[in-house]
């Protein structure tokens, strides 16, 4: 049962990584691209790490794997904030459908 759940979490995590990458390639501006990466990739990372933690040989190894997720969440939000702030300071306007 654990193998099936772990496999399903790994597949779901890979799906979210693919969705985040697709958003990075398809969205029109830096702000929407950051949103896709910050949301989808972090959820994908959480699913992948939980799937790997279920397969870990010991409880300590599983907890170490799960500790990666909050660290990555903090780093991702800090980097996304820095990129968005820099884009704003450079005058990059958010994309609007009705803009010329």
Domain residue extents for the chain: 2-89
- The upper half-sphere exposure of residue 58, i.e. CA atoms within 13 Å in the direction of its Cβ, equals 3
pLDDT-based confidence at residue 83 (cuts at 50, 70, 90): very high
The average pLDDT across 23-47 equals: 89
- The upper half-sphere exposure of residue 27, i.e. CA atoms within 13 Å in the direction of its Cβ, equals 17
Q: Residue 31: which of 91, 99, 90, 80 has the closest Cα?
A: 80
The average pLDDT across 41-63 equals: 93
Q: What is the pLDDT of residue 65?
A: 92
Token pair for residue 64?
């170490």
Q: What is the pLDDT of residue 1?
A: 86
Radius of gyration of the chain (CA): 17
Q: Residue 28: which of 18, 36, 17 has the closest Cα?
A: 36
Q: What is the pLDDT of residue 56?
A: 92
Does the pTM of the predicted model rise above 0.85? no
CA 60 to chain centroid, in Å, comes to 24
pLDDT beyond 80 at 99: no
């Amino acid at each position: 049962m654990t193998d099936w759940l772990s496999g399903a979490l790994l597949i779901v995590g890979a799906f979210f990584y693919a969705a985040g990458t697709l958003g990075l390639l398809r969205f029109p501006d830096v702000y929407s691209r950051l949103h896709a990466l910050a949301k989808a990739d972090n959820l994908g990372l959480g699913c992948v790490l939980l799937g790997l933690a279920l397969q870990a040989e010991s409880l300590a190894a599983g907890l170490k794997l799960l500790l990666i997720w909050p660290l990555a969440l903090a780093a991702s939000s800090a980097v996304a904030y820095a990129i968005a702030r820099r884009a704003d300071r450079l005058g990059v306007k958010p994309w609007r459908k009705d803009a010329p």
